[in-house]
Amino acid sequence: MTGKEYSRLYHKSRDKAYDALFEEYCNYVYAIVYNRLRGIASREDIEECVSDVFADVFFGYSAESAVKEDMRGYIGTVAKRRAINAFHSLTARQKHLSGNADEELVTISSDKDIEADSDSAETRSILLSKINELGEPDSTIILQKYYYERSSAEIAEMLSMKSSAVRMRAARALEKLRKKLANVGITL
């Protein structure tokens, strides 16, 4: 959802704007908050922080300072800051911070980056939808060639085409795909 889309929806109906914003970014915000608060916060604390993020975004929105393009960066920043504030609040309340606070923070970290995993899953979803938009047989050729690593001869046999035709269609389809992805801000 772009800032322009949100702004239009916001001016028509604030409730619909909030619902659309929540629907689109709920998993993303939850991943950010969970990544920051895991090991220190209860599930209820994490869900409360997620709600606070959306309240901050919704009530802090103004048409003058509206984000014009993708709101993902803005919402991500609000989520990170709110999660950090919640972390400090929870640790102060639970008296978890002591003289060796840095060591404690290292022990609650993890190799798994949920935020990056969420971004990666979203990118894969967009990529697959753009490949499907190419239509047949181009989408099949792209998937077989770049995902399954099949040769042009193998693909030609599957699709009852000539190998040279598969190579030509693959090159053209890849160029179309690059343009489609560039339109949504993804580069290959």
Looking at the fold, whether 42 and 8 belong to one and the same domain comes out as yes
What is the CATH classification number for the domain harbouring 177? 1.10.10.10
For residue 97, pLDDT over 50 is answered with no
List residues bridging with 70 in a β-sheet.
Answer: 2
Grade residue 92 by pLDDT with cuts at 50, 70 and 90: confident
Query: Whole-structure pTM over 0.75, yes or no?
Result: no
* Domain end among 110, 125, 142: 110
Range of the domain at 132: 117-183
Looking at the fold, whether 106 and 124 belong to one and the same domain comes out as no
Grade residue 49 by pLDDT with cuts at 50, 70 and 90: very high
Both tokens of 1, joined, read 């959802």
Q: 111, 108, 46, 44: which is closest to 79 by C-alpha?
A: 46
Distance CA 8, CA 38 (A): 36
Q: 85, 95, 86, 92: which is closest to 47 by C-alpha?
A: 86
